[in-house]
Amino acid sequence: MLGVTGRSMSSLTQSRFTGLDQASRDVNMDFHWYALRTNGHHEKRVRDRLAGVGIEPFLPLTRQQRQWSDRKVLTELPLFPGYCFARFSLRNRLTIMQISGVAGIVGSVGPEVIPDAELVAIRAACESDRLVQCVDLFVEGMQVEIVSGPLRGLRGQFIHHAGHDYIVLRVQLIQQAVAVHIHRDEVIPLCHSGGILR
C-alpha cells in the first residue's frame, strides 16, 4: 500500500548522494525527516527527483478505486496530497529547494523536524492490508494550545467558521466567550486529560 518506489527507507539511505556536500555525507547525525510542500499533483515526481539526487524520500500512498467510463480501476494516490517527506541535512536545503515541484519545507518559522516514530507508524499503517485514509487532525470543538505567535500559551476550543479557523476563549463566570482568528500551524491539539498529544 505504501510506495517508496519499491525500496525500503534503509536501502534508500545507501543510494548515491549526487548534489549533496561531503560534510553531510560524513555526518549522518545531521539527517532528519522533514515534510516538503509540493506543487499540485507533483508528489510522485518530487519523490522520484529526490531519490535521483540521493535524498531519501518517503511518499505514503493509499489505494483507491476509481470509476472510469468502462471499468473500475484501483489506483495509488498520495495519502497526504501536496506533501512528500524527505530525510536530509539542513545544510542541503538549497539542493532541496532547487528540485522541480518542491514548493517549500514545512515549519511555522523555519523547517521543522518530524519525529522518526511518526513516519514509522504511518509507514506501518500503509504497508498493512487495512484501509488507510487521510483525516483532518483538527476536529470541531477539540481543545488546542497556541504554540507560536503573540498568543503563544493560550488554550481554548477550536472551531472552523466561514472558511477560517478560530480559538474560542471563555470567561465562565459571566458566560461569555471570544473567538480569535488563528492559523492551523500555530496550534496543537490537546488530549482530554489536559496533556499535549504527542
pLDDT digits (tens, 9 = 90+) for 47-62: 999 999 999 999 999 9
In tens, the pLDDT along 94-110 reads 999 999 999 999 987 88
Tell me if the pTM is above 0.85.
no
**Cα within 13 Å of Cα(189), Cβ side:** 12
Counting DSSP H helices and E strands in the chain, the numbers are: 5, 11
If you average pLDDT over every residue of the chain, what do you get? 83
Say yes or no to pLDDT of 26 above 70: no
